[in-house]
Amino acid sequence: MYLNLRHCLLMLLIAGVSWISSVQAQSPCPKNNFPRIGGDCIAATTANYKALQIPVTPGMKGNIYFYKTANGLLGKLKVIFATTSKKECTAYIDAVTYVGKSVFIPNSSISIGVDKNHWLKTRIYLDAEGFSALELSRDKGVCNLSLTKDTGIVFFQKQGEEQIFKEENNLLFMAPLALIFIAIFLVARSVLEDQDRYKTQEALEEAESTKGKEKYFILKVTKPFYKRYFLPVAQGMKNKQKFKAAYRQKLANAGLTKDLTPEEFFALKLFMILGMPFLFLCVRWFLEATWPLSITPVMGVVGFYYPNMWVNGLIDNRKSEILRGMPFIVDMLALSVEAGLDFMAAIQRVIEKAPAGPLVEEFETLIKETRIGSSRAEGLRQLSWRVNVIEINSFCATLIAADSVGASIGPILKQLSAELRVKRSARAESLGAQAATKILIPMIFFILPAVIIAIFAPMGLKFITGD
């Protein structure tokens, strides 16, 4: 019976596909069906791609756009949700870029806010190489979505909230058999499409991570769970703007911008409320320990705050690596500039010659941003915001000021390098002075008792035995 039902469903699916294809033969791309829009129908659509500025308003929800990147790739974009306020502008999108037979799926959210009375521009890249990006900026009180240079976009249609699948010939779907097919098709498509899309995105992220640094273990283990089950909960929360503002810069300081969005980080925290107690119970069962079960709720609280401690540790390690490698990199910049290279060309030379590190990665991001149209001053401000180290902030502010007045930056870089070396020496002396104080604690509680026992134990034994 199960096989017969399965065969009937397959026959309904084949018949329905043939009906739909006959009805949609007139239109290259299906109407009101964003998931079924493919790269072939976008290429067959006659469209005039232009560099447009799209105002961000709540009314743009459901808008579908086609875009063409700087390297000729085609893609589709749908606005899921958009909101604006005096302090923040946010847009949630669903975008897919077609790369031959594979796809590239950009991030799903883009948001900007006021930072020290200044609206920063943010972007999400539309291709893996970073040649094209969708930017969100604010100008004269209006938030606009725009694409970087050599990238065009065109409006396709507006999809209604409740109109998911509608054909031009409604009489064709009046038959009860067709209605049954539509119900089965929609349920199966929603399940299989989410599954395929998740697997595709996971494979792309795995491929990207193997090209760069290795993925963090906690993300590799937990991502299949929190991204599928807890991310929709985080995106649907009313106070999501608060945790987005709280975690956006922290994730950038930790170098996790490519790995985690603020919504995904909060989803990770929600997952750890259940994941940490589950891990505790598994370890308790494996070790056959008699730990009290009353600790389980406490482990849930620990799990919620553990991602914060993990990110803070990454921030501290990243800052120390940046400060350790900064004098050498600034020296290379000074030598390259004095040799006749432009500042951006000098940064490119540093990326090629300097050992891999967080500061080199930030310079690579700076090169990408200037390549797609950002000014040097804006790129340096973004660099300062992402790193959030006093020395880097001073470095960026000095270069921005020198660039604004047209001063030569070669002597400035040499002076900055000398100051950084002096500060590093002073920092090393300070840590050396603190080491003498910190070593007192293990000496008093561990080494001194052992020495006392080694000296006075024989005397005590002789006194007790009377020898």
pLDDT tens, position by position, 30-63: 777 788 888 888 888 777 888 888 888 888 888 8
DSSP 96: E
Q: Are residues 41 and 123 in the same domain?
A: yes
Q: Are residues 256 and 391 in the same domain?
A: yes
pTM over 0.85: no
Per-residue model confidence as pLDDT tens digits over 8-29: 545 555 555 454 444 444 446 7
Helices (H), 32-174: 39-44
**Which one has a higher pLDDT value, 163 or 336?**
336
Using 50, 70 and 90 to split pLDDT, how confident is the model at 356?
A: confident
What is the distance between the alpha carbons of residues 296 and 302, in angstroms, rounded to a whole number? Answer: 10
Per-residue model confidence as pLDDT tens digits over 104-158: 888 778 888 776 566 778 888 888 888 888 888 888 888 888 888 788 888 888 7
Least confident window among 202-206, 226-230, 255-259, 310-314: 202-206
Identify whether 386 is part of a domain. Answer: yes
> Of 161, 187, 202, which marks where a domain is finished?
161
Q: Are residues 139 and 198 in the same domain?
A: no
Whether 194 shows a pLDDT value over 70: the answer reads no
Identify whether 431 is part of a domain. Answer: yes
Identify whether 74 is part of a domain. Answer: yes
Identify whether 227 is part of a domain. Answer: no
What is the distance between the alpha carbons of residues 274 and 281, in angstroms, rounded to a whole number? Answer: 11
For range 295-305, the mean pLDDT? 91
For range 165-191, the mean pLDDT? 52
Q: Are residues 272 and 419 in the same domain?
A: yes
Q: Are residues 346 and 363 in the same domain?
A: yes
pLDDT at 215: 64
CB-based contact 273:304 (threshold 8 Å): yes
Using 50, 70 and 90 to split pLDDT, how confident is the model at 207?
A: low
Q: Are residues 3 and 111 in the same domain?
A: no
pLDDT at 201: 58
Q: Are residues 155 and 182 in the same domain?
A: no
- Tokens for 6, please give them: 């399965």
Identify the burial level of 269 via C-beta atoms within 10 angstroms of its C-beta, where 0-12 means exposed, 13-18 middle and 19 or more buried: buried
pLDDT at 114: 72
Report helix, strand or coil for 145: strand
Q: Are residues 268 and 390 in the same domain?
A: yes
Identify whether 462 is part of a domain. Answer: no
Whether 203 shows a pLDDT value over 70: the answer reads no
Whether 430 shows a pLDDT value over 70: the answer reads yes
Percent of the chain with pLDDT over 70: 80
What is the distance between the alpha carbons of residues 447 and 47, in angstroms, rounded to a whole number? Answer: 79
pLDDT at 373: 81
What is the tally of structural domains in the chain?
3
> Of 128, 161, 194, which marks where a domain is finished?
161
Identify whether 191 is part of a domain. Answer: yes
Q: Are residues 296 and 347 in the same domain?
A: yes
Nearest to 257 by CA among 70, 109, 89: 109
Least confident window among 63-77, 182-196, 323-337: 182-196
For range 222-243, the mean pLDDT? 83
Whether 335 shows a pLDDT value over 80: the answer reads yes
Whether 1 shows a pLDDT value over 80: the answer reads no
What is the distance between the alpha carbons of residues 349 and 12, in angstroms, rounded to a whole number? Answer: 61
Q: Are residues 419 and 387 in the same domain?
A: yes
Q: Are residues 261 and 316 in the same domain?
A: yes
Least confident window among 4-8, 17-21, 168-172, 328-332: 168-172
Specify which residues 119 forms β-bridges with.
Answer: 114
Identify whether 414 is part of a domain. Answer: yes
**Which one has a higher pLDDT value, 265 or 437?**
265
Q: Are residues 361 and 417 in the same domain?
A: yes
Range of 11's domain?
Answer: 1-29+177-212
Identify whether 449 is part of a domain. Answer: no
Contacts of 220 (CB under 8 A, 6+ apart): none
